[in-house]
Structure 1
């Protein structure tokens, strides 16, 4: 008994000691967190103190001619970059850093020159810098939300011929410059009006983070301090250096691409057998740059997906040819191996999208519940035009920002009237562009769109995730099934996807810009006007850029093309599934789709359960799904980019953090801009002079024998 009691006392003492250690550790962690928070607050507090004596220009003076001229030039450049990425991998990194840097560089150079000559009338301000960044991102954003690599191109006969399902003429609409520009002008502005009345609620009352908008604001604020200006010049120099290298590298590679599978992009890095299974490094500066910007987990997930699909699954399924699917169908037939590649990828994308949709929706509802419970017993929900008293308890930053943010109000009647007017025009116009999309389909979308735009904008403020493509896929299923296969349901679903995606995407983008403007003291009116002008530019520039690609590369959209537009086929087949059901799937494909759909949900759940500490060990299902259809060549390039950044961070982290995004942006911009002269050369009929091709020794012997004879 004595020993037992003593052991029990020792055990209790150990437990008590462990609890004390935990409490002490928790106290220390809390103190460290509090100290860090105080440091962050003091740094943040100093921002507006630095600019306290700098006059804030009126919203009209923030909208300068030079700002929009620079935005036009950068918008064209960035549209080429986004379009190229759209038509190759579909992965679009954030280009805000490059937009802010280049906008700062061009206008600062111009104003410095005018200042030295004594002709400068208006100095370059951070508000004008914000206007440029907003306009450029709005312009290039249309290249993504316009669906040139997804739903819009998915309507074409090029993509329809690959799906072999529902290829009636009422389910096909080939690209044409006129109707594409008209369609974008009709649908791209509604999202801007849908969330304007909620700007005060989102930014001031709910204090949503909007991580990308906040990061952009910090970047622009830093540019306009003396120390930040010096760093910005060095960053621009680094961007320009790697821009030149990337452009010249693209030009050099062009000389060796006179034919299919020619050039450095077809170099069998890991052997010919691996090359046939799309495992190779294709020497693309764009993908290396994208890999430097994307988080490590994205690039690793892409590589894991490539190994799982092209390294394991597809070789095994190909052995079932003649059993699971008919032999001799060809590599692009959806009733053959291509069906497994496309539909399993769709299953993972849908599983990941639906999981994140309900996750963000749940966080949105919970966040709203907390906001309403903690609104200081106010009886009325604050509206955009209602005054917000500035209390002495808030920081100097917030006092100044809130005051200026509420001065230039955008009237609620203007936003509501604009939404109703554009919705009426759109409902009357869209059926003339797409006869399959009836006016009442459009009306139903516009009734529900403001609520969905709010959910997307709020969720983006919490998580920095825009689920525009998920909302678009929901529209595909609902409108496509409503229309039915006999009445052009495939095309109606794709068009409805475009309408929904543009609304919810531009709504979250505008709210991000409002957050950036709030933190840089840019007027909400100048942000709104800049977004409208940038969107209008994009509605013209993006279709013209796509039209250039479409005419310069006749094999655009095919699996063997340099620009396969993978998501175009994915979106079309999602529409076919919504209209036709599962009859389009080859044998055993449905079972595999259910397995990977469930796997996407389970993997995401595991990531959330384990938390940030361990979730980096688990790949992202959405990223894993992309190589299922495309192969691993771009994943290998992106992993090389990650490796470069990783080694750079290990050797000099401060320099990597400061110049990594600039170097990556230079690589992306240079290679992206090379597509403009290469497209012009292709249109002019100028072909590369050399074909550099890699053959096995046996094939090479046969070629030599043939040529010798």
Structure 2
């Protein structure tokens, strides 16, 4: 079949089908609970687009006839991503917990704990804005500029392999054997890039996944789920005092053999896991004892207000902001050059290959953005009132989200980095001037801007996947709308269940990013810092900015050593979370490194690379699903079977 005939066949095949949407929603709901669980626990979530495509393919091969087409699989993973990432986009892992920490004494306002209905209203206010923003940006960054969007390209490559469909080679795409971990350098996203050599028969890898994929996924899922349920009844399993009882009790140095953490380490890759552990050693091995023993943080080490954990959080904030802002500079500069004509690319006036009936009409986009802003502003006013944030300030937040989304999408397309943490902090800095001394307005406006930038960037990865596989942009748009709509209810219900059973933020679910949002808002309101944090913030911020500049330069020149420059945000995550979080991920990163090197040395037949990703995905999903079982147990009053080993206050489950 020639290229023209193949394209005609692709456009004639139904893509937005009931079965593809239902499977996408099922996978997305699973991801939604999983991402909320890990987001509240560690501040980490994943798009899971590659994993969604894998699971969709396996379901199609096993339960449907005929099997899903490649374009249906694109709709599946697009719908799943839109459903699964709303816990971050709507701020349920950071902004909403931060508002619950407010106090009249410190912030001039009482704590805001949203009801279920208020959670739905807030989610509805921000759920669709980024979906409409992504549509006009698609033509610029994917069609005209042909940006790489590595994770979206990786997913397209995987789908093409699984369905044994040759992938076109536009946009300077290079295909080679093996897989390479790429990190989005944000507290929220880790993705794995899969690349396949052009001369490797695609049916070989497809057969490997067909024959062994379900077994790999189910065994790893079952092992992770079983260990998680066992740890619910015997909490010490996830808080082993590997370094001694004293260090575990007084300094929070314990070890959690969580298979999901190991799986996340595999997915994020060794360089990022290493950056995270370097941060962990500096934060918890040097700065935490220094702050405690010097009397700068006299409270218990784990206390976010008076302890060393709260003290080192300020240093982490400086690292995250410096790294994110410096990383945005080359993207902003390139954007200015493009729009002033100095960097304009030639020969891409209009390369759109899709017929109008497969595109999203710009009239829909204009009405959608306008309606999103009006409805969002109204709902934010309903939830927070004019004392919380002025309506005109909310409108500015949405407009700022439009501008920041351009930077976020360009950064993601060129580097696979969506620096939404930095973009959110930019909006917080601006709102310190627009609505000064108002902590609620500062956090909410930052959340509005971040939601648009994050959604537009993440969904652009999916649109890149669809572009390479000739999937209908309109079908993907429908999938994004449906996924976001369903996730409004799923995310809010899940968060309400967790808050009924657990204290959030609390010992089991510390929601570390909520303190990042809140501390910056308080700093901008009061201008006061804990003792001696200013000097350390300045020093670490300068180092982070220097390394971020070096990384940006190395990437721009194509230097292979760029990925070994420490990630500033990953380094900061090592500060935000206790050592057990980072150590387990380092194990996964080492496994990924050794596995890849072993395959390279032994010339293992193609198709085996993808198995490690499937196993890692099963580990992550297993604990996420098993957490729902724990939630049910806790709701029914079923507690730990034994607190053996927890008498020293090490374990959250018995604490």
Q: Under TM normalisation by the shorter chain, which class is it? A: 0.7 to 0.9
CA spacing shift, 1:449–1:567, aligned 2, 3 Å:
closer
Q: Which residue of 2 aligns with 1:309?
A: 283
CA spacing shift, 1:256–1:222, aligned 2, 3 Å:
same
Does 2:584 match 1:630? no
Q: Which residue of 2 aligns with 1:232?
A: 209
Q: Which residue of 1 aligns with 2:485?
A: 536
Q: Which residue of 1 aligns with 2:543?
A: 599
Match of 1:573 among 510, 515, 519: 519
Matches within 5 A, 1:33-432: 52=6, 55-56=9-10, 58=12, 61-112=14-65, 124-156=68-100, 159-160=101-102, 165-166=106-107, 168-169=109-110, 172-225=111-164, 226-233=203-210, 234-257=212-235, 263-275=236-248, 276-321=250-295, 324=296, 327=298, 332=303, 334-335=305-306, 337-366=308-337, 373-376=344-347, 388=350, 402-404=352-354, 408-432=358-382
Match of 1:557 among 505, 509, 517: 505
Does 2:416 match 1:464? yes
CA distance in 2, matches of 1:340, 1:328: 10
CA distance in 2, matches of 1:110, 1:348: 48
More displaced stretch, 126-135 vs 245-254: 245-254
CA distance in 1, matches of 2:403, 2:516: 27
Structure 1 gap segments, 5+ residues each: 1-45, 116-122, 258-262, 383-387, 390-401, 700-709
Q: CA deviation at 1:92?
A: 2.5
3-state SS, counterpart of residue 62 of structure 1: coil
TM-score, structure 1 length as denominator?
0.79
Q: CA deviation at 1:342?
A: 1.9
Q: Which residue of 2 aligns with 1:674?
A: 626
Contact 1:405 1:518 in 2 (8 A): no
CA distance in 1, matches of 2:374, 2:330: 33
* Structure of larger gyration radius: 1
Contact 1:107 1:124 in 2 (8 A): yes
More displaced stretch, 672-681 vs 294-303: 294-303
CA spacing shift, 1:286–1:367, aligned 2, 3 Å:
farther
Contact 1:195 1:454 in 2 (8 A): no
Matches within 5 A, 1:689-700: 689-693=641-645
* 1:398-443 Cα shifts (integer Å, max 9, x gaps): xxxx533655232212211221122122223321211211111022
CA distance in 2, matches of 1:285, 1:357: 34
Q: CA deviation at 1:596?
A: 1.4
3-state SS, counterpart of residue 600 of structure 1: helix
Q: CA deviation at 1:279?
A: 2.8
Contact 1:405 1:523 in 2 (8 A): no
Contact 2:326 2:548 in 1 (8 A): yes
CA distance in 1, matches of 2:301, 2:158: 51
TM-score, structure 2 length as denominator?
0.85
CA distance in 2, matches of 1:317, 1:588: 9
Does 2:592 match 1:645? yes
CA distance in 1, matches of 2:253, 2:329: 35
CA distance in 2, matches of 1:188, 1:540: 11
CA distance in 2, matches of 1:354, 1:135: 31
Contact 1:291 1:638 in 2 (8 A): yes
Equivalent pairs counted in the alignment come to: 599
CA spacing shift, 1:343–1:264, aligned 2, 3 Å:
same
Contact 2:40 2:512 in 1 (8 A): yes
Q: Which residue of 2 aligns with 1:479?
A: 431
Q: CA deviation at 1:49?
A: 5.6
3-state SS, counterpart of residue 354 of structure 2: helix
Aligned-residue CA RMSD in angstroms? 2.7
CA spacing shift, 1:51–1:690, aligned 2, 3 Å:
farther
Q: Which residue of 1 aligns with 2:185?
A: none
CA distance in 1, matches of 2:256, 2:512: 18
3-state SS, counterpart of residue 134 of structure 1: helix
Q: CA deviation at 1:461?
A: 1.4
**Which structure 1 residue ranges, 4+ long, deviate > 6 Å from structure 2?**
none
Contact 2:431 2:445 in 1 (8 A): yes
Structure 2 gap segments, 5+ residues each: 165-202, 650-655
* 1:501-535 Cα shifts (integer Å, max 9, x gaps): 11111212232222111111111110111111111
Q: Which residue of 1 aligns with 2:170?
A: none
Does 2:608 match 1:659? no
Q: CA deviation at 1:269?
A: 1.2
CA distance in 1, matches of 2:532, 2:599: 51
Does 2:447 match 1:505? no
Greater fraction of residues in helix: 1
CA distance in 2, matches of 1:681, 1:694: 20
CA distance in 1, matches of 2:283, 2:401: 37
CA distance in 2, matches of 1:129, 1:364: 33
More displaced stretch, 74-83 vs 438-447: 438-447
Q: CA deviation at 1:375?
A: 2.4
